[in-house]
Amino acid sequence: MIALLTGMLSTAVLAGGVLALAALGEVLAERVGVTNLGVEGLMSLGAVIAIITVVATPNPWLGLLAATMAGAAGGMVFAFATVIVRANQVLCGLAITFLGLGLSASIGHDYAGVPSPATFGRVPVPGLSSLPIIGPAFFGQNLPIYLIYLLLPALAHWVMFHTRHGLAMRAVGENPAAADAAGLPVTALRFWYVTLGAGLAGAAGGYLTLTYVPVWSEGLVAGRGWIALALVIFAGYRPFGATLSGLLFGLITALSFVGQARNWPIAPAFLNMLPYLGTIAFIIVPVVVWHRMRRIMAAPAALGVPYHRDVR
Amino acid sequence: MAGSLQRQPTVTPARRLAWRAGAVVTALAITTLFLALSGRDPRLLADLVVRSTVGSRFGLEDLALFLTPLLLTGAAVTVTGRIGVWNIGAEGQFYAGAIGATAIGLFLPGPAWLVLPLMAASGIACGMGWILVPALARAYAGVNEIITTLLLNFVAGLLTTYLAVGPWHDRVTGALASTGRLPVRIPEIWGVVHWGFPIALVIVLALAWLTTRTRWGYQITIGGANEQAARYAGIPVRARILGVMLLSGGLAALAGVFEVAGTVHRLQGGLANNFGYFGIVVAVLARGSCLNVLPAALLMAFILNAGIVLQTQQLTGSAVLAITGLVLFMIAIADELAHYQPVTVRPATVAPVTVGKEARP
């Protein structure tokens, strides 16, 4: 039982890390008022670029860096279309998803089934990692896990809610016209935060193939990008909310693994549906049950609306 | 600022069409460039594509087979778009329809004239059931339908594979990951083209009439244009959103019914072949008009058919997905750029009092 719980929690932290990273990226983009529906494609691109990089140079950090750059490059293309040209965000997001999925499958064709030659190894924290149950899960993981669960969300939270720059960033997402009138660079803020968010989506894809599923195959991302998008809503557009909801969904994923390992009398297909059904339940139930949630978890007011200075 | 570009609130159809044609040509040019850079002869490929799509009888038959589901999924996404809702879950509803049809086809013996309509009814009911929760959540609690409808696609895909590999698995021929061959099939009318094709055409035309010529269609359009105003005018917007989304689910499901009963004859994983997602592209091209779904679906069917040819030339099937993404991306940009027109501003004496915000014809 202890071994089972330990294993489950370890899987949850790993699986949740992928979602948490992608969701954190999307929080950044949506806080400046841009919905990037391309997360799924950007993650796919990051996943394949990470594998290709570590096949060439067996260094997982280089792989993660390359995945981040690939995501950011895709994000710049998206940001050019949606922030500078101000084209429809839903369309461009879907287009980036199609492009990312198609491109990654095309360039990853020769790498399908090749196991990642280098992955992030476990780096146990002395002492803490031998704690029962939570030790191996939280202190016996690879290094990027601390980046994902602590450093990045803490940094994003501090910048977003405790600095002048963060105020500017949120203002651009709430009321770009007012922000513009106050002299804030609306276009630049939107462009760079969308790019940064997309970079994190690419990194999430790279993290997926460098730790959790260390082999490339088409359709590998399997909707994790879309789950991450839903988590942003569930997280109330907050960095630590994204991290925690990522962990929660990691737990649901781990539950389906446990079910398969222990031969629960449920077909694996149904256990595999759990993360998707869970996500749907988690974005519907809170709004239905508790109406105040709508205000607490409200989206940035200008989310999805392109900003034209000359049109009111 | 004389002679500068100014964003116009409205765009004439001709102007938009010109920009979009430019977008499609640009996307295809980029694709050709990529193909040429990867060492393939674009002229040879183009020749192959034309010969195997519009240049031969088999090509035309394939085109019609691609067109059938695209007309229906395209219409499914278009009707929800009219009330301002995105149904990104046509892929899942397609699977639900195929599952519902297969359940009847496999387990209800009887004459084709009786079983086929029952298959369609069951499939449509399943598709509507598949979108019911997202539709209720969107209509009555304002929950983002893009994510809920989309996530159900993965559930539907898993369910289909489970049924095809598990309980409904073909035990006669031992075909891998597929159900047995359905005992009834939609009759063919021209080569491999079955009755699903003309029925889909008629449905799209009927929807065009329904959405533009009836009271119901008018309420949908107003609800989509301004929800508050529509509610103030006494239009039951929530009920309309629910109704349109159910209709949409039923349409996408019918595409699944036709695919399984007319073209593939077995339920198998990957049956939907991204038709649900390509339906989104068709709807975007059609810009909310059901009549425009016809040419839009034709273009999409042509791209898919061309993709089959590219696959014989050592390109993965996913290259088609990338090309589609590129086309969609270019069109999104072109749609916005079409708003900008060079204007020559009159002398400053009249400039301050211009009412520049008014819509111009």
Q: Please report where in the chains the tokens 């021209």 appear, as a residue.
A: B190
Helix or strand or coil: residue A65? helix
- Split at pLDDT 50, 70, 90, the class of B37 is confident
CA distance A100 to B137: 30
Of A128, A154, A151, residue with least CA distance to A141: A128
The ipTM value here is 0.90
- At residue B325's C-alpha, the angle toward residues B319 and B326, to 5°, is 90
Cβ within 8 Å of residue B171, ≥6 positions away: B180
Q: Please report where in the chains the tokens 């198609």 appear, as a residue.
A: A102
pLDDT tens column, B129-147? 999 999 999 999 888 898 8
Lowest mean pLDDT among A289-303, B41-55, B207-221, B317-331: A289-303
A2-122+140-296 maps to which CATH number? 1.10.3470
Q: Is pLDDT larger for residue B313 or for residue B80?
A: B80
> CB-based contact (8 Å) between B4 and chain A?
no
Residues in chain B within 8 Å Cβ distance of A95: 325-326, 328-329, 332
Residues in chain A within 8 Å Cβ distance of B332: 81, 87-88, 91-92, 95
| Tokens linked to A291 | 């109406």
Q: Is pLDDT larger for residue B100 or for residue B356?
A: B100
Quote the minimal CA–CA distance from A89 to chain B in Å.
Answer: 9
- Split at pLDDT 50, 70, 90, the class of B353 is very low
Q: Please report where in the chains the tokens 């009834």 appear, as a residue.
A: B184
Which phi and psi angles does B340 have, rounded to 5°?
-90, 125
Each residue's pLDDT expressed in tens, for chain A with a length of 312 residues:
777 788 888 888 988 999 999 999 999 999 999 999 999 999 999 999 999 999 998 899 999 999 999 999 999 999 999 999 999 998 899 999 999 999 999 888 888 888 888 778 777 777 777 777 777 777 777 888 888 998 999 999 999 999 999 999 999 999 999 999 999 999 999 999 999 999 999 999 999 999 888 888 888 888 899 899 989 988 889 999 999 999 988 998 888 888 877 778 888 889 889 889 998 998 888 877 776 666 667 788 888 888 888 754
Q: Which fold has domain B65-312?
A: ABC transporter involved in vitamin B12 uptake, BtuC (1.10.3470)
- A95/B142 touch (CB, cutoff 8 Å), yes or no: no
The pLDDT assigned to B157 comes to: 94
- B148/A310 touch (CB, cutoff 8 Å), yes or no: no
Residue B337 has its nearest CB partner, among A85, A99, A276, at A85
Q: Which of B11, B34, B152, B318 to mutate to test the interface with A (most CBs of A within 10 A)?
A: B318
Q: Which of A106, A231, A311 to mutate to test the interface with B (most CBs of B within 10 A)?
A: A106
CA distance A217 to A47: 10
> CB-based contact (8 Å) between B154 and chain A?
yes
Q: Is pLDDT larger for residue A282 or for residue B254?
A: B254
B319 → chain A, closest CA residue:
A102
Lowest mean pLDDT among B5-9, B231-235, B334-338: B5-9
Q: What is the DSSP letter of B180?
A: P
- B151/A227 touch (CB, cutoff 8 Å), yes or no: yes
Residues in chain B within 8 Å Cβ distance of A288: 137, 141
- B328/A94 touch (CB, cutoff 8 Å), yes or no: yes
Q: Is pLDDT larger for residue A236 or for residue B241?
A: B241
Quote the minimal CA–CA distance from B331 to chain A in Å.
Answer: 9
Quote the minimal CA–CA distance from A76 to chain B in Å.
Answer: 13
B85 → chain A, closest CA residue:
A90
Which sign, positive or negative, has the C-alpha torsion B88, A251, A102, B329?
Answer: positive
Residues in chain A within 8 Å Cβ distance of B337: 85
The pLDDT assigned to B22 comes to: 94
- A95/B322 touch (CB, cutoff 8 Å), yes or no: no
A77 → chain B, closest CA residue:
B329
* Contacts across the A-B interface (CB distance below 8 Å): 142
> CB-based contact (8 Å) between B315 and chain A?
yes
CA distance B140 to A206: 39
pLDDT tens column, B292-304? 999 999 999 988 8
- At residue A179's C-alpha, the angle toward residues A174 and A183, to 5°, is 165
Return mean pLDDT, chain B. 88
Residues forming a β-bridge with B169: B179
Q: Which of B155, B159, B304 to mutate to test the interface with A (most CBs of A within 10 A)?
A: B155
Q: What is the mean pLDDT of residues B232-240?
A: 94
Q: What is the mean pLDDT of residues B1-21?
A: 82
CA distance A27 to A196: 11
Lowest mean pLDDT among A113-122, A157-166, B261-270, B281-290: A113-122
Residue B232 exposed, middle or buried by CB count within 10 Å (0-12, 13-18, 19+): exposed
- Split at pLDDT 50, 70, 90, the class of B239 is very high
Of A207, A256, A221, A239, residue with least CA distance to A25: A239
- At residue B277's C-alpha, the angle toward residues B176 and A249, to 5°, is 80
Highest mean pLDDT among A286-290, B70-74, B189-193, B321-325: B70-74
The pLDDT assigned to B348 comes to: 54
Residue A222 has its nearest CB partner, among B6, B154, B316, at B154
